[in-house]
Amino acid sequence: MKKFLGIFLALFGLFVSSFANEQFSFVGGFKTEAFKASAVFGKTNKAIIFTDNGEGMIDQIQLIGAYDTTGKVKREFWQGYYRTRLRVIVDGEVSVDGTIYNLCGLGSDFNKDSDFENVIFTTPLFSKTGLYSGITFNFKIPYYKSIVVELVRDARDVGKVGLLWGMVKSAKLINIKIGDITLPKGAKFHAITRKQNCKKGDQLEIFSTQKAGVLAGINMSGQGSKFDWVEGCLRAFVGNDNANCIMLSSGLEDYLGGAFGYNVGVRQFNSWGCTYKQMKKAPFTLCGYRNHFNDSVSWNRGGFKVSLRWGDQNKPHWNLNSIDDFAGQKKDPGEGTLVATAFYYDWE
């Protein structure tokens, strides 16, 4: 009996030791940089908040700040928070470049931060859990040689109050999945914002690549002189063929999860959502986000791009799988501005 007990305890001890080593290996597999200071920016417009050399993966960038709302009087701690740019340089190349609000689906420079005060949501790519800030980015950014994460203030805010709290977390490089698709090693992440003034027939090229890849999500915001600009459809073009396309939506509000101008109001969900709309008078404004973790969009090498048209055909039985000269278009969509941020990975 004693012999059996001794063998049991030895095996149990081996199991515990093995489990502890696995746990320790996991716990030892990440690195963080936390910051809480009023002198991060100082008199400059840029603050480097994380650097690393070697191989790894950023899986969290948390940016708390903006306003202190714990007292009776709201105090602004970080002036220009929403228009501060987040830039990530991976292996010497820009991987992420956009304002904090652009990257979180919260409109563009034609919006005010108060437009999103009570907008609270979480998605696989980002979340907003505070009245004006409390923004966390969870898109996974692999790096193979080096990485630099920096915040760049708008020129209007340089020298102003810049008190911020935050955390950047880097983990061991593991398999990254978008929906059911596992990315190969060597995949690069991109989150780049594009802006364009538009009129009838114009298209905003949201992103393009010659490499194989997968789309993680797109944030969209726009403002126009007429309501009809939101009829614009998203199209994907494969293999450098600009004549034929694959439809990604039958209208912008459809792509962002709405129906008939968001007749249930402003709502946010895991896969898609509207964060702001003003559709009663000019300028007609719509902002929102969409991710593709539940409906994969992937492509092979040889050319792939996604564009959004400013306004589109809006009549029964129209074949949207083509680009025409607006023949038969009854309503002019007017003029305005489109802003898009695409999140995607590509690889050789």
Banded pLDDT at 21 (limits 50, 70, 90): very low
Statement: residue 319 has pLDDT above 70:
no
Instruction: Return mean pLDDT, the chain.
Output: 84
Kindly report whether the peptide bond that precedes residue 283 is cis, defined as omega within 30 degrees of 0: yes
Q: Got the DSSP string for 220-257?
A: EEEEESSGGGGGPPEEEEETT-SS--EES-SSHHHHTT
Statement: residue 145 has pLDDT above 60:
yes
Instruction: Say what the pLDDT of residue 19 is.
Output: 25
- In order of 93, 152, 176, 190, 290, the CA distances from 88 in angstroms are 8, 11, 18, 10, 22
Statement: residue 183 has pLDDT above 80:
yes
Statement: residue 231 has pLDDT above 50:
yes
Q: Is the pTM of this model over 0.85?
A: yes
Averaged pLDDT, 110-137: 91
For residue 288, the surrounding DSSP H or E stretch is strand 284-291
Amino acid at 90: V
Strands 93-99 and 188-198: parallel
Statement: residue 11 has pLDDT above 50:
no
Cβ-contact 132, 31 below 8 angstroms = no
Statement: residue 190 has pLDDT above 70:
yes
Banded pLDDT at 26 (limits 50, 70, 90): very low
Domains of the chain in sequence order: 30-174 (2.60.120.1390), 195-348 (2.60.120.1390)
- H helices of 216-324, in order, are 252-255
Cβ-contact 157, 84 below 8 angstroms = yes
Tokens for 86, please give them.
């987040």
Which residues 6+ apart lie within 8 Å of 150 measured at CB? 46, 47, 48, 49, 86, 87, 88, 89
Instruction: Say what the pLDDT of residue 162 is.
Output: 75
Averaged pLDDT, 13-38: 45
Cβ-contact 206, 338 below 8 angstroms = no
Q: Of 61-65, 176-180, 258-262, 286-290, which range is least confident?
A: 258-262
Higher pLDDT: 317 or 129? It is 129
How far apart (Å, rounded) are the C-alpha atoms in residues 190 and 142?
10
